[in-house]
A and B are shown apart, each in its own frame.
Chain A
Amino acid sequence: LAKTTQPISMDSYEGQEVNITCSHNNIATNDYITWYQQFPSQGPRFIIQGYKTKVTNEVASLFIPADRKSSTLSLPRVSLSDTAVYYCLVGPTGGYQKVTFGTGTKLQVIP
């Protein structure tokens, strides 16, 4: 499984766009990139998944450059309720689900 590197923490003011970048230099050809969000004392929640270029859903966008060695989770106009830890995961679509979570990025939204 590809190793990922994310910033440990980030601060943002309410209403701003937040971009969290994840590095995954040894990503394999059949690896997908998935982001989860976790609030304190809760289980992680799926946010978005992508393979290349750009993916957008009602919650976030995921930008993946052509070389796929990094990815950026973009959260538009964050609110206080977006304060959470965000995890970037990289893994193949085949085989069993041995998913590896890193330490994640702790996002603190400031009023």
Chain B
Amino acid sequence: ETGVTQSPTHLIKTRGQQVTLRCSSQSGHNTVSWYQQALGQGPQFIFQYYREEENGRGNFPPRFSGLQFPNYSSELNVNALELDDSALYLCASSLSGQAMDTQYFGPGTRLTVL
């Protein structure tokens, strides 16, 4: 069974650029959630995708957007990057997207915005 994978591992961008992060969910999971984790903080919920539809969103502006594909892999897109977007971006997959379902996290993508 393959776990959750994310790419790339690290990324450096400059302010104003756009970035796409990718996530492959664990086999059999139809739900992917994305989180932003700033240094020293807990993960903050960005949004969740369930069967290719956005199923809920946290307090993030519209320049944070996403997609889920038929194979349940997912992308997180961030436009007009700001310095404060520098963080570890985590994706997590789960069986059904129900609240408090066990989430299986990937290793994250470290984004640095200069």
Contacts and interface: CB of A to CB of B under 8 A. Distances in A.
Interface residues of B, number: 32
Contact of A96 (B4, B48, B92, B110): B48
Contact of A91 (B35, B100, B105, B110): B100
Nearest to B41: A103
Given A44-B105, A46-B104, A97 B42 contact: no
Interface string A83-97: 001010101111111
A26 interface: no
Contacts, number: 81
Contact of A43 (B4, B41, B94, B100): B4
Contacts of B58: 98
Q: Is the interface of A mostly helix, strand, loop or mixed?
A: loop
B100 A42 contact: no
B55 interface: yes
Interface in A23-39: 32, 34
Contacts of B50: 96
A97 B103 contact: yes
Contact of B102 (A41, A46, A96): A46
B108 A91 contact: no
Nearest to A103: B42
B102 A94 contact: no
A95 B98 CA distance: 6
A87 B37 CA distance: 13
A95 B96 CA distance: 11
A103 B4 CA distance: 23
Contact of A92 (B4, B41, B44, B100): B100
Contacts of A85: 42
A93 B108 contact: no
11 contacts: A42-B107, A43-B4, A45-B105, A87-B42, A94-B99, A96-B56, A97-B48, A97-B55, A97-B56, A98-B48, A103-B42
Interface of A: 32, 34, 41-46, 49, 85, 87, 89, 91-104
5 nearest A-B pairs in the assembled complex, by CB-CB distance: A43-B105, A101-B42, A96-B56, A96-B55, A32-B100
